[in-house]
Structure 1
């Protein structure tokens, strides 16, 4: 039987790679420049998903507020620090590489649509040997629109030469973007969830990457 999808798209942070440790360190580096107390990884996880600027704004709001001009001053510093420490604690989620190998063997193209800046996304994926495996890498600054807009998913599909697509993510923005793009949404229950998995409205939920290919094969 033919596999029902030609493309499987993925979000990056909290979906392909557990980046919370390195993102937390970058936020805390920025906060330390204001002599603010550091945040825990558990506090930062729900702030991830709309890009680094949003994460910084959330971190500032949680530690004393966002004064005028402070985001503009600290954002480049956060990006510089993160780019230099992008894969210190980050790791692909368990079972991911095996799932990608299985999809490759089935002739399925894998691709990324993330709200992370494209340059940082490519740098992070390259650290784990994943960049060259992707038929497309669309970042939050690639198009001028980001998820929950369907634009990044549409671009990812187009750059991957089209075909029936499913999208895997860990945030409400991933689910909304997939629905708007008209593709099945799969939520990873192990990602950076800011609410119970059942509350996202995703078409399907997986709790380990071992479940992904069998799920897709049955759709």
Structure 2
């Protein structure tokens, strides 16, 4: 029996432009610590490794280091503020819903594999009206591992009812490329996300500049994997 074809997406910088709300939460915490705000343009490369690491990077920009207890407290403050304002400015990338509709009509299902906490991921997608599109939404706390550990991708696929042999990853940064490579599946890189290293330098199997290009890239890779 042929398994269902699954496209697994990263969340921040791939499905949704979350940077404005994340940076607002970061700057809220920094202001309470008497530190200057981080400009949006500078902060985009901080996104993708989780709330704690994003906060640590924000503090490092000002040459500030804090102890474990303080970073725990500040991370909680960050998450609390972010959750309360999670979809004020965040929006799906242009063309996303049309691309999902196109792929759905071709028989694909979708899953989310992110280093964001699962409950925050679901909250965001709920508020944007997107949750029902995904067979599984899994985060860094779902299985106790984060990308690029391949366990998170394998388990996300299992939860969605998919298989590695008929799956493709879509992401914007190193952890996404890495998890796909380590799990042995093709990966599409998006040029509009958040990454410290240019996505082209990470050599994804396909590279897209707009969501309108996603269905063609997915079909090309899937045909290469499973030629008729």
TM-score interval (norm. to shorter): over 0.9
For residue 5 of structure 1, report the CA deviation from its aligned partner: 7.2
User: Contact 1:5–1:216 at 8 Å: present in 2 too?
Assistant: no
User: Contact 2:30–2:37 at 8 Å: present in 1 too?
Assistant: yes
Secondary structure of the corresponding residue to residue 188 of structure 2? strand
Segment of structure 1 superposing worse, 82-91 or 158-167 = 158-167
Residue 215 of structure 1 corresponds to: 217
Residue 225 of structure 2 corresponds to: none
User: Contact 1:5–1:166 at 8 Å: present in 2 too?
Assistant: no
1:47-66 to structure 2, matched below 5 A, reads 47-66=46-65
Residue 78 of structure 1 corresponds to: 78
Hey, which bits of structure 1, 4+ residues long, moved more than 6 A? none
For residue 195 of structure 1, report the CA deviation from its aligned partner: 2.2
Is 1:193 the counterpart of 2:195 in the alignment? yes
TM-score, structure 2 length as denominator? 0.92
Deviations 1:96-127 (A, max 9, x none): 00011111111211010000000000000111
Secondary structure of the corresponding residue to residue 36 of structure 1? coil
Aligned pair in 2 of structure 1 residues 80, 153: CA closer, same or farther (>3 Å)?
Answer: same
Secondary structure of the corresponding residue to residue 111 of structure 2? strand
Is 1:35 the counterpart of 2:2 in the alignment? no
Residue 180 of structure 1 corresponds to: 182
Secondary structure of the corresponding residue to residue 9 of structure 1? strand
Q: 2: CA distance between counterparts of 1:82 and 1:25?
A: 8
User: Contact 1:187–1:202 at 8 Å: present in 2 too?
Assistant: yes
Residue 96 of structure 2 corresponds to: 96
Secondary structure of the corresponding residue to residue 60 of structure 1? helix
User: Could you list the runs of 5+ residues in structure 2 that have no partner in the other structure?
Assistant: 222-228
The structure carrying a bigger helix percent of its residues is 2
Deviations 1:103-157 (A, max 9, x none): 1111211010000000000000111111111001110111110001011110111
Residue 162 of structure 1 corresponds to: 162
Q: CA RMSD in A?
A: 1.3
User: Contact 2:188–2:217 at 8 Å: present in 1 too?
Assistant: no
- Alignment: residue pair count: 216
For residue 70 of structure 1, report the CA deviation from its aligned partner: 2.4
Residue 226 of structure 2 corresponds to: none
Q: 1: CA distance between counterparts of 2:139 and 2:37?
A: 28
TM-score, structure 1 length as denominator? 0.95
User: Contact 2:99–2:211 at 8 Å: present in 1 too?
Assistant: yes
User: Could you list the runs of 5+ residues in structure 1 that have no partner in the other structure?
Assistant: none
Q: 1: CA distance between counterparts of 2:211 and 2:220?
A: 15
